[in-house]
Amino acid sequence: MEELNKTYSPREIESKWYKIWEDSKYFAGKMEEGKESYSIVIPPPNVTGILHMGHILDNSIQDTLIRYKRMCGYNTLWVPGCDHAGIATQNKVERMLAEQNLTKEDLGREKFLEETWKWKEKYGGIITSQLRKIGASLDWDRERFTMDEGLSKAVRKIFVDLYNDGLIYQGEYMVNWCPRCGTALADDEVEHAEQDGHLWHLKYPVKDSDEYIIIATSRPETMLADVAVAVHPEDVRYKHLVGKKLILPIVGREIPVIADEYVDIEFGTGALKITPAHDPNDFNLGKKYDLPIINMLTADAKISDEFPEYAGMDRFEARKAIVEKLKENGTLIKIENLHHNVGHCYRCDTVIEPRVSKQWFVKMEPLAKKALEVVRNEEIKIIPKKMEKIYFNWLENIRDWCISRQLWWGHRIPAWYGPDNHMFVAMSEEEAFEQAKKHYGKDVALTQEEDVLDTWFSSALWPFSTMGWPEKTKELETFYPTSTLVTGADIIFFWVARMIMFGLYEMKEIPFKNVFFHGIVRDDLGRKMSKSLGNSPDPINLIEEFGADAIRFSMLYNTSQGQDVYFSEKLLEMGRNFANKIWNMARFVIMNLDGFDITKVNKADLKFELVDEWIFSRMNETAKSMHENLDKFQLDDAAKAIYEFLRGDFCDWYVELAKVRLYNNEASEQQSKTTAQYVLWTVLDQGLKMLHPFMPFITEEIWQKIKVSGNTIMLEKFPATDSSMIKPEVVKSFEYIKEVISSLRNIKAEMGISPAKEVKVVIKTSDENELKTLKDNYIFITKLAKIEDMKYGKDVEKPDQSGFRVAGNSEVYMILTGLLNLDVEIKKITDQIEKVQKDLDKVNAKLANEKFVSKAPEHILEREKRIQKEYQDKLDKLTENLKNLQ
């Protein structure tokens, strides 16, 4: 049997195995008859994206699930792909052109798109190569891109269907406008952030009167476009002014005072300036009272030419100039500090400007009704369940979705206009020409809509467009609905809800059965990771340092369902240490299987002892736990189960106990040695298979050294649970052995005795099972606990000068005579007792103080009580040790 290298080198192993797996097509989605199917579509990363810790977590979860189901015998498919990322990609290419002193307008639309496709081919998809580094077992032959030919056809098809069903419409409405990106954004693409600002109080004089109304505004520059001032009809301060005219400061325009119940009497001055072109609520009031719409900003948020004094100024520059003017003419009364929420573009962080423009919208309410129903009746299960409330709240209060974007890169809206602006929505230009010919009775020239669709529109089709829809494909038949969607909670509205709505609309079926939301990866201070904070490590550098297996396992082990992950590089040390432990253990086992052939072993010739039955029982308990936890998406509990089994039960106990039999070369003990080898091989084989979904590389490398047949561990069967092998009574007996050995080790540690020092031990117990266990496992206990002589029985006498512990129903004594300088040890323990007593007295006094107890928060009280118990336990132990020494 070929040995493992002395040192574990993840870099060498990981690069080697991924190439073999991919070249061998082991990740390919199978569609074998008679098998259950399990499929996942990857949340498509932006084509501009690079790997970050959120991707590591998200894709490690998906890969663990897909590898587990693959080993359980399912037809599995994990679909890879990228999103064209309309705004982000166009921004990248525009920046590239700017370095050449060019704009997209210099190139024209067609040439610009050519350059964008070139950029995509050259730089796009870096993240897909990086996903290979973490071992993601994606079916790369089925990789999709949201603007590839098949997906583009799917986008046009659903657009036409929605339009023909009256669910897509066009109109002039208030939208969120990003001046930097030059496009409209949907409500959920606006990120709100708390920031400091000001509230300016301004006098709006009443025409032909000495009276005025005070208006408070956080955006004084928008007063250029004011068309009215609104007050509440019951507000006695302003009742007599309703219907009168005000003179708009600076501009001089006359504007009416209107009354509407929308105005809150208690808020501010109780009077609102109405600017329909620049505020969504004002827009609605403007429509209600048929007020004019005056747009004072250009698309890039500069003051328009209608206001020559400020024309061409940036909105914030104009704000300063206007405030100065208001000061000069006495209109500005006071300025207050204001802490408020301000909307920013989710792509470039520019402050959003509300803007009236002609856009395309999807009617969401009819689609949302069905999407609510399938979650309520649990056709789709949301995990963790608490996320349902957020999902329901959004869908119950949903607004129509603005799907048009003023970009060039993206799916161009399939609408064409005739000479009289009559619109034709069609799957292709040829089809639009046919519609136009029927409409006009002759051939006419058509102009296609300039806008493209929101990137999330094409992403909403991802579960079925990636499988070939609108064609009827074998993939759709086999793998749709998909089984599980794994994603972050931050895109529940952007993506998850819309996929459900579009899947139900077009496929008449749910797009997935389960949605597993994982938490956000934060730094150890709880901050969301970002480039600006400099707290986001480069995962590729971490893979180089720690290995992909170590990172995957650490992240999954520490990710509780629905909780955020607090990441630090120290977290990864656990995974690396575990990988090294597995490697060294496997190396030891393989070295001690020399001359052993698993295929020639007759189990009837083996003699299983308590320790063998115990490790088999624990192995089957672990397999049972892993199946249950992975099926419930409790990946952290599954990771903990295999960690505790391999690192604790197998490495720390069974392998150490096996050495007693492996190193005994007497002919009479050959049966015991062969039995130990059989158990070592079997548990290593089964343990590697259970660990494989979490740590694919190291498990493959080790398994290849011990395999009997097969090409790859990933296509082996995941260990099933043999309930007949789970023996609680055996586990109880072995736990007693562990407790005895641990007790003796602890006494040595506390007394400062070398762990290698052999000692004399007395164990007193009247428990028949414990006595039998001690007798049957005498050699194991004495070897592992380094015992020179062990007496046990019901009537053995307690020795003088001994360390004492209780294990099960046994009194365990370690004879200390001759091992210690008693005077020195007694002095040392007495000093410790005095110190601990002082610390305990302080805590007792604090908890006896009624004033403290009545005022302290609950968590402080709990902390103090916990400290009190720790000191008391320590004092009791020290007192017992002193008693035994004396």
Neighbour-count burial of 355, counting CB atoms closer than 10 A to its CB (0-12 exposed, 13-18 middle, 19+ buried) = buried
> What's the CA gap between 55 and 130, in Å, rounded?
10
> What's the CA gap between 789 and 781, in Å, rounded?
11
Q: Is 513 annotated as a binding residue?
A: no
Beta strands in 396-472 (DSSP E): 401-402, 404-405, 415-417, 423-425, 447-448, 452-453
For residue 368, give the DSSP letter. H
Contact 843, 868 (CB under 8 A): yes
Q: Return phi, psi of residue 258, to 5°.
A: -115, 160
Other CB atoms closer than 10 Å to residue 386's CB: what's the count? 12
Strand partners, 810: 807
> What's the CA gap between 146 and 462, in Å, rounded?
8
Least Cα distance to 175 among 262, 283, 91, 304 occurs for 283
The length of the chain is: 886
Least Cα distance to 132 among 27, 9, 39, 46 occurs for 27
Cis upstream peptide for 220 (omega within 30°)? no
Contact 61, 495 (CB under 8 A): no
Strand partners, 812: 763, 805
Neighbour-count burial of 266, counting CB atoms closer than 10 A to its CB (0-12 exposed, 13-18 middle, 19+ buried) = exposed
Contact 189, 494 (CB under 8 A): yes
> What's the CA gap between 37 and 479, in Å, rounded?
6
* Residue with the two structure tokens 């008391």: 872
Amino acid residing at 101: N
Neighbour-count burial of 351, counting CB atoms closer than 10 A to its CB (0-12 exposed, 13-18 middle, 19+ buried) = middle
Q: Where are the alpha helices (DSSP H) in 692-727?
A: 696-706
* % helix, strand, coil for the chain, step of 5: 50, 20, 35
Q: What are the angstrom distances between the C-alpha of 150 and each of 39, 156, 461? A: 20, 10, 12
Strand partners, 78: 40
Other CB atoms closer than 10 Å to residue 284's CB: what's the count? 13
> What's the CA gap between 505 and 656, in Å, rounded?
61
Render the burial of 62-99: b for 16+ CB within 10 Å, e for the rest.
bbbbbbbbbbbebbbbbbbbbbbbbbbbbbbbbeebee
* Strand-by-strand arrangement of the 332-345 sheet: 212-217, 190-205, 332-345
Amino acid residing at 625: S
For residue 820, give the DSSP letter. S
Q: Return phi, psi of residue 182, to 5°.
A: 65, 35
Least Cα distance to 375 among 568, 262, 279, 512 occurs for 512
| DSSP H or E stretch at residue 306 | none
Q: What are the angstrom distances between the C-alpha of 588 and each of 10, 550, 677? A: 18, 21, 11
Render the burial of 201-215: b for 16+ CB within 10 Å, e for the rest.
bbbbbbeeeeebbeb
Q: Two tokens at 837? A: 């007593």
CA 328 from centre of chain:
54
For residue 489, give the DSSP letter. G
190 Cβ neighbours under 8 A, 6+ residues apart: 176, 343, 344, 345, 346, 352
Q: Residues forming the annotated binding site? A: 531
Binding-site residues for ATP: 531
